[in-house]
Amino acid sequence: MKRTGFTMIELIFVIVILGILAAVAIPKLSATRTDAKVSTYASDVATALSDMGSYYTAHGEFGTVEEMTNVKFYKRDNSSSAVTLDPSNDYVYFNDSADTSCLSFKGGLDGNITIKSESNTSSECKGLNLAVANLTKTHSFGGSSVEY
C-alpha cells in the first residue's frame, strides 16, 4: 500500500520559509503604521495652521483653539480645556499617540504664530518634525510683518 503526503523535511522547509516571510513582513507593517500616523499628524498641523490664520484674519485676534480649529491641542499640563493661543498663555502643544509633545504653537498680539519642535525622541515625533520642517517657524497673519 502506497501512502501519499508530505515528508517531514518538506514540512520543515515550509515552516522555515513562512518564518522568514513573517520576520520580513512584521517590521514593514509596523513602519507603515508609523508612517501613516506621521502623515495624519502632518496634515493636522497644516490644517490647524491654516484654520488659525483664517480665524485671525476674520476676527483680528486669536481665540481659543476649540474656536479656531477642530485639531486637538493640549497645554503643558496635558489639560485640553479652553486652550487659548495668545502671548499671555503658555504654549499649546500638538501631541503624538503616546500623549507626548511633538510641536508647540504660540500666538502673538500682531498675528504671528510660532511653531517649534519639542525635544521628543519618539519615532512619531521625529517623523512629524521631518514632515513639517518647513512649517516650524513664525507665520505672520497680521501686523507690520505681513509681506505682499
98-139 pLDDT per residue, tens? 667 788 888 777 788 888 888 777 788 888 888 888 777 777
Q: Where are the domains of the chain?
A: 13-145
Q: For residue 139, what are the β-bridge partners?
A: 113
CA distances to 29, 37, 84, 103 from 74, rounded to whole Å, are 30, 18, 10, 11
49's grid cell: 495652521
Confidence of residue 70 (pLDDT cuts 50, 70, 90): confident
**Full strand arrangement of the beta sheet holding 138-140:** 92-95, 101-107, 112-117, 138-140
* Rounded Cα gap, residues 13 and 127, in angstroms: 39
pLDDT at 148 over 50: no
Burial of 42 (C-beta count, 10 Å sphere; 0-12/13-18/19+): middle
Record the pTM.
0.69
Each residue's pLDDT tens digit, 8-42:
999 999 999 999 998 888 888 777 888 888 888 88
122 contacts: CB under 8 Å, gap ≥ 6: 96, 98, 100, 102
Residues 32 and 56: beta-carbon distance below 8 Å: no
